[in-house]
Amino acid sequence: MATKEETLASEKRRKTIMSVVLAVICVIYVLPVVAVVINSFKLNTFVKTDTFALPTSESFAGWDNFVNGMTFGNYPFWKSALYSVIITVSSTFLILLCCSMAAWYIARVNSKFCKVVYFLCVFSMVVPFQMVMFTLSKTADTLDLNTPWTIPIVYLGFGAGLAIFMFVGFVKSIPLEIEEAAAIDGCGPVRTFFCVVLPMLKPTLISVGILEIMWVWNDYLLPYLVLDINEYRTIPIHIQYLKGSYGTVDLGATMALILMSIIPVIIFYLACQKHIIKGVAAGAVKG
């Protein structure tokens, strides 16, 4: 039989090996981001010829790429950023409000119809987007949902699956007696939800809100299919179509804009990671 010291040494070696493997995986995972950072400070010509080389005195562009990225092309970057903010904030607000109310109804009524709606919402999370992309774009055009002010309705449909799944799990963990006490005190369903249930949903609201913000902000495909990209562009679409006269593409400016768009998302995710974990544990796990 192995002694206690041998067991501890074996466990230590196993953890060391796992740490090394995970560290290598993390390095590989961040290499694309590192490449973007490096190329964002290089002149356009050297981005094409020396993609993975570090900037030199000859290839270093300084902050010119960031300035060019915001002014290059025939579509203003500030406009794309504004549309991204409008779509992200309004879509997230709509998802949180509507899905939290729907989840509360589904969890409390628990009828066959509610169960069917719940499983349809959960099933929507595993349906490939390619199955609905063409019919979706046609429907959005027909119903005039192809503007930054109406596309949040489309995002509501796509974001409802995850949100309702997490909200239903959390609502089931709330004692029904609390809502019965509110009803005895004279609260109707609407007041009970907004004054009693919604404040208790705060951990899951924050978690779902963070996840939805990151998804909508980074999404390229849905706005590309639904919006008129000649009139409305989000940041991902703007970067994709960053062209100057005669269709030329400034890769240095493109890399600079990519960096400007992903760094805030990374910082946002790292700052909010504990809230995501807390909300997932409170919602999905308890459910």
pLDDT tens sequence across 180-212:
898 888 888 889 999 889 988 888 888 888 889
Helix ranges (DSSP H) in the chain: 4-39, 44-49, 64-71, 77-109, 112-123, 133-142, 151-172, 176-184, 189-192, 198-200, 202-218, 221-226, 235-240, 251-280
**pLDDT for the residue 287:** 46
Q: What is the mean pLDDT of residues 34-59?
A: 84
Q: What is the mean pLDDT of residues 90-97?
A: 95
For the cut 80, the answer to whether the pLDDT of residue 242 exceeds it is no
- Crossing angle of helices 251-280 and 202-218, in 10° steps, is 160
Q: What is the mean pLDDT of residues 148-167?
A: 90
C-beta separation of 44 from 250 below 8 A: yes
Of 21-30, 214-223, 268-277, which gets the smallest average pLDDT?
268-277
**pLDDT for the residue 87:** 95
* Most confident listed range (145-154, 206-215, 261-270): 145-154
**pLDDT for the residue 246:** 46
**pLDDT for the residue 283:** 55
**pLDDT for the residue 169:** 85
For the cut 90, the answer to whether the pLDDT of residue 285 exceeds it is no
In the predicted model, what is the mean pLDDT of the chain?
84
Cα dist. 56→13, 40, 281 in Å?
42, 13, 48
Residue 252 in tokens: 């240095």
Which residues touch 144 (CB under 8 Å, ≥6 apart)? 150
Cα–Cα distance between 39 and 146 in angstroms, integer? 34
**pLDDT for the residue 100:** 93
**pLDDT for the residue 281:** 64
Task: Read off the pLDDT of residues 49-91 as tens digits, 9 standing for 90 and up.
Answer: 887 888 888 888 888 888 887 877 678 888 988 999 999 999 9
Cα–Cα distance between 241 and 246 in angstroms, integer? 13
The reported pTM is 0.82
Q: What is the mean pLDDT of residues 119-144?
A: 84
* CATH 3.20.20.70, applies to 79-226+278-285: no
Confidence band, pLDDT 50/70/90 cuts, at residue 245: very low
For the cut 90, the answer to whether the pLDDT of residue 92 exceeds it is yes
Residue 178 in tokens: 């609390």
Q: Which residue has the tokens 């974990």?
A: 277
